[in-house]
């Protein structure tokens, strides 16, 4: 089976650079053609895997391809697929230390490496999650159970209007009402306004409410903006708030010199979300949350049961089920551990550094197209731009910018998505795949220039 799978997968992966960046036509027909009842008897593996890899999987967005510059690209490092094959074939249980002390230790090493990247010291810890959304939820619940009483209807959460929507979702899931969220405005660089934050906190205190949780973004999904993390840490210290930094997109740029300069102060956060399936190029399904005081995770999540084995008291022996919502789960550590163990951190550092350089290359190219205006220059590896307004109303301007993006996407070399900031539609370029290099950025710039010319000449007619 593995040999047969490889015969399909190797050519598939080798052809990624020449596959279309997106292929959406006929999506519904494909999905319909695959509807099927539970089969009573089986078919040979080869008959299943061939159409799976050659046809069924190919519709939609080519998220693993080098031209995917949309949303937040990730990659799909093949080592992780092999690590998962091994982990799943072994099927050892890593939820409690005693069941798989070796595998639990490798996963604990990974978490410690992450802690080191943001500057956490002894006593810190964390857990690998399925993604950043669950990581943010764990951070919020941990803070709530550390800082608030059992009933917490006066506890207040502060985030910017650029924060990822998973924070709001986490708050709603964690039992907060919408009016316990304070959405703080941002400055011209789309960073949370520290002065407005201070005012909002003071107002809430004066009204007898209880400020406790502050979210900073280390790279927003919208435009890649990095909040003034040191400024937020000062406020959190003065006001006794739990500072959580959402670094799901940008956090791993801490491995680079430029990233460390941009994210000064991140190590003063009480908790940080990092998404290996973004910044470490791993396949979907690997996030993480790390906390400065590992004991807080255990206090927030530990619930006993008679049928469970003895949990560990030595802080070096981690029972993941004790410090997170999940009891049984996949063995996530190996897929992070294997590529680091095989290649070392240096490869990741230079790959991430290349992405920063590529984003600047993209920004320089956009700046050379007079009809375009850079709205959010890259702080990390994301930038956003729009057509310069021509005295037309906002709706028309937005439609023209959207037309540029659509025209780029119909060329299928790269795939871009947009966003709205202050009612203005922006085209985003996010560089984060290990498969993306200068060739894709240059193709993107060519296609953007061509599409911009086409939309502009349409205006003249």
Ligand X SMILES: *Cc1c(COP(=O)(O)O)cnc(C)c1O
Binding site for ligand X (CB under 6 A): 72, 131-133, 136, 164, 166, 217, 221, 246, 248-249, 275, 287
- Name the nearest CA neighbour of 265 among 289, 297, 237: 237
- The residue among 229 and 372 lying less far from ligand X, judged by its C-beta, is 229
Q: From the CB of 435, what's the least distance to ligand X, in Å?
A: 19
**Whether the Cβ atoms of residue 275 and residue 162 lie closer than 8 Å to each other:** no
- Cα separation, 22 vs 410, in Å, equals 9
Structure tokens at 226: 């990095």
Which long-range contacts does 363-366 make (Cβ < 8 Å, 24+ apart)? 365/441, 365/442, 365/445, 365/448, 365/449, 366/429, 366/445, 366/448
Q: From the CB of 279, what's the least distance to ligand X, in Å?
A: 10
Q: From the CB of 70, what's the least distance to ligand X, in Å?
A: 12
Q: From the CB of 248, what's the least distance to ligand X, in Å?
A: 3
- The residue among 12 and 284 lying less far from ligand X, judged by its C-beta, is 284
- Cα separation, 319 vs 343, in Å, equals 28
Residues 6+ apart with CB under 8 A from 225: 162, 186, 189, 190, 191, 217, 219, 376, 379
- The residue among 63 and 124 lying less far from ligand X, judged by its C-beta, is 63
- The residue among 74 and 231 lying less far from ligand X, judged by its C-beta, is 74
- The residue among 228 and 246 lying less far from ligand X, judged by its C-beta, is 246
Q: From the CB of 421, what's the least distance to ligand X, in Å?
A: 15
Q: From the CB of 247, what's the least distance to ligand X, in Å?
A: 7
**Whether the Cβ atoms of residue 271 and residue 241 lie closer than 8 Å to each other:** no
- Name the nearest CA neighbour of 433 among 69, 58, 78, 59: 69
Residues 6+ apart with CB under 8 A from 187: 193
What count of other Cβ atoms lies within 10 Å of the Cβ of residue 73?
A: 25
- The residue among 96 and 186 lying less far from ligand X, judged by its C-beta, is 186
């Amino acid at each position: 089976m593995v040999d047969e799978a490889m015969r399909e997968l190797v050519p598939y992966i080798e052809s990624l650079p020449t596959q279309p960046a997106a292929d959406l036509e006929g999506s519904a027909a494909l999905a319909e053609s695959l509807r099927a009842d539970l089969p009573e008897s089986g078919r040979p593996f080869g008959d299943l895997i061939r159409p799976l890899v050659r046809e069924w999987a190919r519709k939609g967005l080519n998220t693993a391809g080098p031209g995917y510059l949309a949303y937040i690209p990730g990659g799909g490092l093949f080592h992780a697929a092999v690590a998962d094959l091994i982990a799943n074939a072994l099927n050892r249980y890593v939820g409690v230390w005693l069941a798989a002390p070796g595998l639990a230790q490798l996963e604990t090493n990974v978490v410690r490496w992450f802690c080191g990247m943001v500057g956490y010291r002894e006593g810190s810890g964390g857990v690998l999650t399925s993604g950043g959304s669950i990581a943010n939820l764990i951070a919020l619940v941990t803070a709530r159970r550390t800082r608030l009483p059992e009933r917490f209807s006066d506890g207040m959460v502060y985030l910017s209007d650029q924060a990822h929507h998973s924070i709001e979702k986490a708050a709603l899931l964690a039992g907060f009402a919408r009016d316990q969220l304070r959405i703080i405005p941002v400055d011209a660089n789309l960073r949370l306004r520290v002065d407005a934050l201070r005012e909002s906190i003071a107002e809430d205190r004066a009204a007898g409410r209880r400020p406790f949780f502050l979210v900073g973004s280390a790279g927003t999904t919208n435009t890649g903006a990095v909040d003034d993390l040191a400024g937020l840490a000062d406020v959190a210290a003065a006001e006794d708030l739990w500072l959580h930094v959402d670094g799901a997109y940008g956090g791993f740029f801490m491995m680079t010199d430029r990233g460390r300069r941009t994210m000064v102060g991140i190590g003063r956060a009480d908790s940080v979300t990092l998404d290996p399936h973004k910044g470490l190029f791993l396949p979907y399904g690997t996030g993480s949350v790390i906390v400065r005081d590992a004991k807080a995770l255990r206090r927030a999540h530990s619930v006993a049961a008679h049928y469970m084995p003895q949990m560990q008291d030595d802080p070096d022996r981690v029972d993941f089920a004790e410090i997170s919502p999940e009891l049984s789960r996949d063995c996530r550590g190996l897929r992070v551990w294997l590529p680091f163990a095989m290649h070392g951190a240096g490869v990741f550092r230079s790959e991430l550094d290349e992405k920063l350089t590529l984003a600047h290359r993209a920004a320089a190219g956009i700046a050379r197209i007079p009809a375009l205006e850079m709205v959010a220059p890259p702080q990390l590896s994301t930038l956003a731009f729009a057509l310069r307004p021509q005295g037309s109303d906002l709706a028309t301007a937005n439609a023209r910018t959207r037309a540029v993006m659509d025209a780029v996407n119909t060329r299928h070399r790269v795939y871009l998505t947009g966003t709205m900031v202050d009612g203005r539609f922006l085209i985003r370029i996010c560089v984060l795949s290990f498969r993306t290099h200068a060739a894709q950025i240059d193709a993107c710039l060519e296609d953007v220039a061509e599409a911009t010319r086409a939309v502009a000449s349409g205006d003249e007619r």
